[in-house]
Amino acid sequence: MAKALGIDIGGTGIKGALVDTATGELLTDRIKLATPDGGSPDDIIATVVDLIAQLGGVEDAVPLGVCFPAIVKNGRTMSAANVSKKWIGLKAEKLFEKALGRDIHFVNDADAAGYAEVRYGAAKDVTGLVILTTLGTGIGSALIYNGVLIPNSELGHLEIDGKDAEKRAAYSVKERDNLDWKDWAKRLQVYYEHLELLFSPDLFIVGGGVSKTPEEFLPLLTLDTPIVPAVHRNNAGILGAAALASN
């Protein structure tokens, strides 16, 4: 059986499980620990070490993938979303490897979620360009072309009407401004039309917590590109990090 450990680090929680990378099924219970207040590097790394210990540890032969809410380039975290700004510019991959005593595969969290949908979800066997967007506190994104991940796309920061797209169309904005589904969908329409103009994708996938209720907003969108909810919501980061580590 092909297996790998996936760890998903977020602003509020850190989750992990052992994954059957052939099927995308969890081989252990998913363990979730709270992200330490402030999200400092030392505290988050210590929490990941604790989580892996609670999972029973991991053999050196089992690949380990870690996804993180930041641009990840050559093992460095070049941004920081909902964690300490001390992560910016840090050689984070090496710090994790030193603490864990082993190699890891380190990747952006939205990229991991997108890859999970390619391997096990809504983008499986889809050719061409797939764009996954996670609608939450901000807008994360993943670009997948013929099954190949193009990392660190950061499409939530496209400028629309003079602002970052996520400052107008993230799910947190709907809640903050008390928008109804129809008014929020108007903002999403502008955003996804802009993505169509720039990228001519073959499929949109919508992730994030709001993808639990796609019937509330996806039917309100009129696009040339098919748009569907993500299949693996809470487990997407875990599955994608594990799958990428096993490649």
For 3-111+235-246, CATH gives 3.30.420.40
Average pLDDT, the chain: 94
**CA separation, residue 181 to residues 19, 33, 178, 215, 225 (Å):** 35, 32, 10, 10, 20
pTM, whole model, 2 decimals?
A: 0.91
Indicate where the chain has its CATH 3.30.420.40 domain(s): 3-111+235-246, 125-229
- For residue 100, give the 3-state DSSP assignment: helix
How many Cα atoms are found within 13 Å in the side-chain-facing hemisphere of 42? Answer: 0
Residues in the chain: 247
**Residue 90 token pair:** 């840090």
pLDDT at res. 111: 96
CA–CA separation, 26 vs 221, rounded Å? 34
Percent of the chain at pLDDT exceeding 90:
89
Predicted confidence (pLDDT) per residue in 34-73, tens digit: 999 999 999 999 999 999 999 987 777 899 999 999 999 9
For 125-229, CATH gives 3.30.420.40
Predicted confidence (pLDDT) per residue in 199-244, tens digit: 999 999 999 889 999 999 999 999 999 999 999 988 999 999 999 9
* pLDDT(146) > 90: yes
Predicted confidence (pLDDT) per residue in 77-89, tens digit: 999 988 999 999 9
